[in-house]
């Protein structure tokens, strides 16, 4: 009998071990099922627009298993994208408060919290977080990018410039056109004319093709009666950013009138037209030819331009030319009415559009109000534009 008991002991031990393992697996399965049910319930809350209940449930689940941290980071990002920044902040604050987080996990949660504060408009809090993270190798580049965004919003242009100096050479090269606009913003804010010119010249050092700096310098030199420099800026603008040349027409007309250089003005406009400056330059050159009593040359030039690039603006000017030569009668009245209708259409339609997002505008913005990109708003091309 005793021998039988000794033989049964290993079997009993093995059975006990098996039952213990089975119990552990059953508990784990039950826990996973409970978590799955909780996540399903939380998703139902989200779909039912009961976000507060969903946030409370997900936060309570965080205490169950550290493996849910990535899920909570994703949920926080989702809430922020939906515009529910307060809920995103709650999730990320609860994550950061957990003592069991690793340094890497805490830095990631801090980065997300900084983005929450930025989205909510708490720029001072966001700035503080990103300044702390900028020294971390894994987060320095993203932190610098977020800081540049903040400084643009709060118009701290010098701080934005200082941050760009910490970037890699490759990123600095890519951001040079944007940095040039930062210097132009500083120039707009200063009242000292000498400092204004220095800042604009600094912008050109960053981006020699910065049309904004060239256009502004041309206007400043005209005010200072430095006609040589003004003409130099206009020629540089024609070569650097032909799409912006139409906005320099008043300056060009004034500087060449003050210097009594009719030939130089005609040569500049002809060069700009050949480079594709658009209908506004064609019309300006036509007006110049008419002032020289060369109406036939003006009409021929406008017709040729319309054949190559039909525009409402060019068509209106052609009608004005015909009206100036038409005899009184029914035909002239009809042509006058048609010209007025075209003029109204031109006034109602936007003159500018962002090349990145398509934002339309009647005025020139250096910073697109929609996509927040610099220097992307240009005059509209085609039938309704240039």
Span 52-100, pLDDT tens digits = 666 666 666 555 455 667 777 888 888 888 888 888 898 888 888 888 7
Of the three residues 154, 184, 202, the one that is the final residue of a domain is 154
What CATH number does the domain containing 115 carry?
1.25.40.10
Kindly tell me if the per-residue pLDDT of 132 is higher than 70: yes
The Cα-based distances of 107 to 78, 115, 118, 127, 341 in angstroms read 19, 12, 16, 15, 62
Name the nearest CA neighbour of 88 among 102, 109, 103, 104.
Answer: 109
Cα 244 from Cα 214, distance rounded (Å) = 10
| Residue with the larger pLDDT of the pair 262 and 323 | 262
| Mean pLDDT calculated for residue range 174-203 | 95
Residue 188 belongs to some domain of the structure: no
Residue 364 belongs to some domain of the structure: yes
Number of domains in the chain: 2
Residue 41 belongs to some domain of the structure: yes
The Cα-based distances of 356 to 148, 149, 228, 277 in angstroms read 20, 18, 36, 20
Who's near 381: CB < 8 A, 6+ residues apart?
Answer: 278
Domain that residue 37 falls in? 30-154
Residue 307 belongs to some domain of the structure: no
pLDDT of residue 318: 74
Of the three residues 154, 170, 188, the one that is the final residue of a domain is 154
The secondary structure of 14-70 as a DSSP string is HHHHHHHHHHHHHHHHHHHHHHHHHHHHHHHHHHTT-HHHHHHHHHHHHTT-GGGHH
Residue 380 belongs to some domain of the structure: yes
Residue 372 belongs to some domain of the structure: yes
Of the three residues 134, 154, 174, the one that is the final residue of a domain is 154
pLDDT of residue 152: 94
Residue 12 belongs to some domain of the structure: no
> Strand pairing partners for 353?
360, 378
pLDDT of residue 38: 55
Residue 221 belongs to some domain of the structure: no
CA dihedral 309, 313, 315, 320 (to 10 degrees): -140
**What does the pLDDT look like over 146-185, one tens digit per residue?**
999 999 999 999 999 999 988 888 888 999 999 999 999 9
State the average pLDDT for the chain: 83
Quick one: 160 exposed, middle or buried, by C-beta within 10 A (0-12, 13-18, 19+)?
Answer: buried
């Amino acid at each position: 009998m005793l021998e039988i008991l000794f033989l049964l002991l290993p079997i009993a031990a093995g059975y006990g071990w098996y039952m213990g393992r089975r119990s552990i697996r059953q508990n784990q399965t039950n826990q996973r099922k409970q978590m799955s049910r909780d996540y399903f319930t939380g998703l139902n809350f989200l779909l039912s627009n009961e976000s507060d209940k969903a946030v409370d449930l997900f936060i309570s689940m965080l205490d169950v298993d550290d493996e849910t941290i990535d899920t909570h980071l994703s949920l926080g990002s989702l809430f922020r994208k939906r515009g529910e920044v307060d809920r995103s902040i709650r999730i990320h604050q609860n994550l950061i408060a957990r003592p069991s987080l690793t340094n890497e996990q805490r830095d990631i949660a801090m980065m997300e919290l900084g983005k929450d504060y930025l989205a909510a408009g708490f720029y001072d809090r966001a700035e503080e977080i990103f300044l702390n993270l900028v020294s971390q190798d894994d987060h320095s580049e993203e932190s610098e990018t977020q800081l540049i965004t903040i400084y643009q919003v709060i118009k701290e242009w010098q701080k934005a410039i200082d941050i760009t100096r910490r970037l890699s050479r490759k990123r600095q090269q890519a951001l040079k056109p944007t940095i040039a606009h930062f210097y132009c913003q500083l120039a707009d804010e200063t009242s000292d004319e000498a400092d204004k010119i220095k800042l604009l010249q600094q912008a050109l050092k960053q981006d020699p093709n910065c049309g904004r700096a060239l256009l502004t310098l041309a206007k400043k030199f005209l005010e200072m009666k430095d006609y040589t420099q003004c003409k130099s800026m206009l020629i540089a603008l024609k070569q650097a950013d032909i799409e912006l040349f139409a906005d320099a027409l008043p300056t060009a007309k004034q500087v060449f009138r003050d210097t009594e250089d009719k030939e130089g003005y005609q040569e500049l406009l002809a060069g700009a037209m050949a480079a594709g400056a658009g209908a506004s330059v064609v019309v300006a050159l036509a007006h110049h030819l008419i002032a020289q009593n060369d109406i036939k040359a003006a009409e021929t030039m406008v017709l040729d331009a319309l054949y190559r690039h039909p525009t409402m603006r060019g068509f209106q000017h052609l009608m004005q030319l015909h009206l100036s030569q038409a005899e009184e009668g029914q035909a002239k009245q009809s042509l006058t009415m048609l010209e007025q209708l075209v003029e109204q259409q031109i006034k109602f339609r936007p003159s500018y559009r962002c090349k990145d997002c398509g934002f339309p505008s009647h005025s020139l913005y250096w910073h697109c109000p929609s996509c927040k990109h610099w220097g992307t708003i240009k005059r509209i091309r085609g039938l309704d534009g240039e």
